[in-house]
Amino acid sequence: MKRPIIAVTMGDPTGIGPEIIARALRDSEVLLSCRHLVLGDLSAMERALAITGEPSRIEVLDHGMPPVDDRPDRIYLRPLSYLSPADMVFGAPSPASGAAMYDYITTAAKLCLAGAVAGMATAPINKEALNRAGHHYPGHTELLAELTGTEQFVMMLAGDRLRVALVTIHEALADVPRLVTFDRVLSTIRTTHRDVNRYFSANPRLAVLSLNPHCGEGGLFGAEETRVISPAIAAARAEGIDAVGPLSADTLFHFAAQGGYDAVVCMYHDQGLIPLKLLHFDDGVNVTLGLPIIRTSVDHGTAYDLAGTGKANFRSMVAAILMAARMASVRDRGQGKGEP
């Protein structure tokens, strides 16, 4: 079987990205499941190989793609930046490295849209550095939505025991109640249902959380449940989606982690990501639902405290690459887990 090509973006060259890529691309399951094209910086990749001690050799591909008979001891790299040592100091992203992170992502997206690669798996960026370089996005998710002209997209983080999908993503907590609207809750449920059904689990059962303690306690602790969340769930159910709620966030994860639901729709970032990272920090995957391309990512950040030590755990990078390859094979077989 022809293995799909997954574009792997280096992320922040001053973080752990290059090191976890060096390690992940030696993983036997990764080697069996896909070919890769790393989009990044040659010097940063060479430094990561020296730090990790991985015996791979870099093969520079300025234009082409990795061959069908790619070698397990190669890193196929398209260099998109040539950073100076001053721009590669660990933990100190610069405008140049911020611009480079942006170029890796946009090039990968273009390759995905052109069908030159099957999907992309991203190493972590520093969002502040991205913005300082003049690219004003909260993260990969919103940048990729814009690049692909996608309006309805969802950040989902997934592990074997739990999947969480977010109604609001990178927002100040003070803004969340205003942003939890009927339309956003309903579109998050719809997009989550459609893509979980397609890629992960047929006819998924979705739990939808409350925003307030005890589901608002009959209005005593807030009205979003009755005003917004319940009507959105009712509308989704009327479309045939198996969504239940609103359910109290403090207890629901106990049951969801035992397999009660295929995904949990959460109202804000930390509501979903705290339980997910508690259970799955080492092997969780961040996947963007709703895009016309396949995009997965690690579930952690740049970890500057570990950059340059070779000690960062690379399992989430492995899991992200494997998930992208699996999603590509589901898509390319023209069949999902459930009906489209």
Annotated binding site for a divalent metal cation: 170, 214, 269
Choose among ligand 4TP, ligand NAD, none what residue 201 binds, the Cβ cut-off being 5 to 8 Å by kind. none
Least separation, in Å, of the C-beta of 302 and ligand NAD?
4
Question: Does the footprint of ligand NAD cover residue 312 (CB under 6 A)?
Answer: yes
Distances (CA, A) of 281 to 92, 100, 160: 24, 27, 12
The two tokens of residue 16 are 């752990």
Binding mask 125-154 for ligand 4TP (x = CB under 6 A): --------------xxx-------------
Report the distance separating Cα 113 and Cα 337, nearest Å.
23
Residue 273 binds ligand 4TP (CB under 6 A): yes
- Distance from the Cα of residue 338 to its chain's centroid: 22
Number of Cβ within a 10 Å radius of residue 128: 10
- Let me know how many helices (H) and strands (E) the chain has, helices first: 13, 12
| Residue 48 touching ligand NAD (CB under 6 A) | no
Closest CA to 266 of 185, 158, 191: 185
Asked whether 48 and 90 are in contact (CB, 8 A), the reply is: no
What phi and psi, each to the nearest 5 degrees, are found at residue 157? -115, 140
**Could you say which of 286, 296, 302, 316 contacts ligand 4TP (CB under 6 A)?**
286
Q: Does residue 303 bind ligand NAD (CB under 6 A)?
A: yes
Work out whether 141 is an interface residue with ligand NAD (CB under 6 A).
no
Q: How far is the CB of 10 from ligand 4TP (least distance, A)?
A: 14
Q: Verify binding: residue 301, ligand NAD, rule CB under 6 A.
A: yes
H/E stretch holding 120? strand 119-122
Question: Residue 212 binds which one of ligand 4TP, ligand NAD, none, with CB within 5 to 8 A depending on kind?
Answer: none
Residues at the contact surface with ligand 4TP, assessed by CB under 6 A: 139-141, 269, 273, 286, 297, 299
